[in-house]
């Protein structure tokens, strides 16, 4: 009987720039169903953090309720964590980010947690451009309660019990574009070659970065008439471009083909490289992203990859023009400049 992951690791496991192996970013053994897409996303997060050489204590993982929101236990066990009430992760993330802008915030949510109970929270985190990565592990069903359709289930999709979904789905990607999100991507749990660079790019983006990751529920939503099964998603995938993420100060090795490639430089000097671009699409043009998304929807494709990025994005702290240091490190003398200064200010209004 094995509920425990053996402690031995590959003896030649490579180390990243700060001396950690990939295994140092792992978490506890997953208790999700075998083959759950969420576990692959956890694996991609581990891979991305390892490749970015993130110091585990510099990252905070936050989640709500649901299968998806259990996953932070299964990765980055040396990082900070906060498991919030159902749908309320964006508020906690906003508060944490305001108090300490120096951490990397990684929110993990599901389709129920974000598109139903937490919708009111989600939209405000988007429009405030809270500096965080917001991953939605989207399986189109309520896996914890035996697979009822969720708000992201496609119109006409059939559940495992046979009921056909009579409602149109909420597309979180379209919604986020509409709300002014500064980084929007979609991916598939079964495609780590796309997902890992997307997570890395999202983590380097200053502002709200939404990644809607289709993640098949093997137990309740992997049947033939599901539109979120491994087979269906693989058959209908359409990528905007293949993506490479090149961290700051690393040599760019891939050839640049005008018209077929584009590169977007982020504020910290790292570069997102896109190849085999979809026609009529510019990653920095919100309109073209919206158009491209609609076209794909009409064709019945699932458009994945980086859809839109605003390279000029400014996070909530910059929008609010707060001080550069973390608010939770401000001392009494910083916050209370004294009666003399107050008098001077009051005097200036007379």
Partner 1 sequence: MKPTNIKDPEYFHKVVDCQYACPAHTPVPEYIRLIAAERYTEAYMVNWESNVFPGILGRTCDRPCEPACRRGRIEEEPVAICRLKRVAADNKGEVRSLMPAVPKEKNGKKIALIGGGPASLTVARDLAPLGYEIHLYDDQKAGGGMMRSQIPAFRLPESVLAEEVDYVLDMGVHTHLNTFVSSMKDMLEKDYDAIFVGTGAPRGGDLPKLPGRWDTKENIHLGIEWLASVAFGHTTKIGKKVLVLGGGNTAMDCCRTARRLGGEQVTVVVRSPFRDMKASPWEIEDAQREDIPILNNMPPKKFVVENGKLKGIVFEKVAAIYDEKGKRTLIPTGEPDVFLEADDVLIAIGQDNAFPWIERDLGIKFGNWDLPVVDKITFQSTLDRVFFGGDAAFGPKNIITAVAHGHQAAISIDLFCRGESVYNRPAPMTNLVSQKMGIHEWAYDSPVVIDARYLVPHVDKQLALKDRTMEVELGFDQPTGFKEAQRCLNCDVQTVFNTSRCIECDACVDICPTSCITFTTNDEEAELRQHLSAPAHNTTQDLYVSEDLPTGRVMIKDEDVCLHCGLCAERCPTAAWDMQKYLYQVTKAAPIWNNSML
Residues that bind partner 1 (CB under 8 A): 1-14, 22, 29-30, 33-37, 39-40, 42-43, 189-190, 192, 216, 218-219, 222, 230-231, 234
CB 50 within 8 A of CB 26: no
Q: From the CB of 23, what's the least distance to partner 1, in Å?
A: 8
CB 226 within 8 A of CB 179: no
The torsion angles phi and psi of 36, rounded to 5 degrees, stand at: -60, 135
Q: Which is nearer to partner 1, 5 or 257 (CB)?
A: 5
Q: From the CB of 141, what's the least distance to partner 1, in Å?
A: 16
Structure tokens of 117? 């109970």
CB 104 within 8 A of CB 57: no
Q: Which is nearer to partner 1, 43 or 305 (CB)?
A: 43
Three-class secondary structure of residue 307 per DSSP: strand
Q: From the CB of 194, what's the least distance to partner 1, in Å?
A: 13
Q: From the CB of 3, what's the least distance to partner 1, in Å?
A: 6
Q: Which is nearer to partner 1, 71 or 94 (CB)?
A: 71
Q: Burial letters for 310-330: b for 16+ Cβ neighbours within 10 Å, e otherwise?
A: beebbbbbeeeeeeeebeeee
Q: From the CB of 11, what's the least distance to partner 1, in Å?
A: 7
Q: Which is nearer to partner 1, 188 or 208 (CB)?
A: 188
**Rounded to an integer, what distance in angstroms lies between the CA atom of residue 190 and that of residue 307?**
19
Closest CA to 150 of 175, 186, 117: 117
Q: Which is nearer to partner 1, 81 or 190 (CB)?
A: 190
């Amino acid at each position: 009987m094995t509920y425990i992951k053996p402690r031995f690791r590959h003896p030649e496991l490579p180390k990243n720039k700060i001396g950690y192996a990939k295994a140092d970013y792992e978490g506890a053994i997953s208790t999700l169903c075998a083959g759950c897409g969420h576990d692959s996303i956890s694996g991609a997060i581990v891979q991305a953090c390892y490749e970015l050489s993130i110091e585990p204590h510099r990252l905070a993982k936050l989640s709500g309720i649901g299968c998806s929101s259990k996953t932070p236990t299964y990765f980055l066990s040396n990082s900070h964590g906060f498991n919030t009430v159902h749908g309320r992760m964006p508020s906690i993330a906003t508060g944490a980010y305001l108090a300490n802008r120096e951490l990397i915030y990684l929110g993990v949510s599901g389709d129920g947690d974000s598109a139903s109970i937490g919708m009111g929270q989600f939209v405000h985190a988007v429009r405030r451009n809270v500096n965080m990565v917001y991953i939605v592990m989207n399986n189109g069903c309520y896996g914890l309660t035996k697979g009822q359709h969720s708000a992201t289930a496609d119109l006409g999709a059939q559940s495992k019990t046979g009921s056909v979904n009579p409602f149109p789905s909420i597309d979180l990607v379209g919604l986020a574009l509409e709300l002014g999100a500064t980084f929007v991507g979609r991916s598939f749990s079964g495609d780590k070659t796309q997902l890992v660079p997307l997570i890395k790019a999202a983590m380097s983006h200053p502002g709200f970065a939404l990644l809607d990751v289709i993640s098949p529920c093997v137990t309740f939503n992997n049947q033939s008439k599901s539109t979120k099964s491994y087979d269906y998603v693989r058959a209908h995938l359409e990528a905007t471009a293949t993506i490479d993420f090149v961290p700051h100060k690393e040599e760019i090795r891939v050839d640049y083909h005008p018209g077929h490639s584009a590169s977007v430089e982020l504020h910290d000097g790292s570069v997102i490289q896109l190849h085999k671009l979809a026609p009529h699409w510019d990653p920095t043009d919100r309109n073209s992203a919206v158009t491209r998304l609609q076209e794909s929807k009409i064709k019945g494709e699932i458009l994945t990859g980086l859809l839109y990025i605003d390279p000029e994005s400014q996070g909530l702290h910059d929008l609010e023009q707060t001080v550069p240091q973390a608010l939770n490190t401000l001392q009494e003398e910083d916050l209370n400049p004294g009666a003399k200064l107050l008098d001077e200010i009051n005097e200036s209004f007379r």
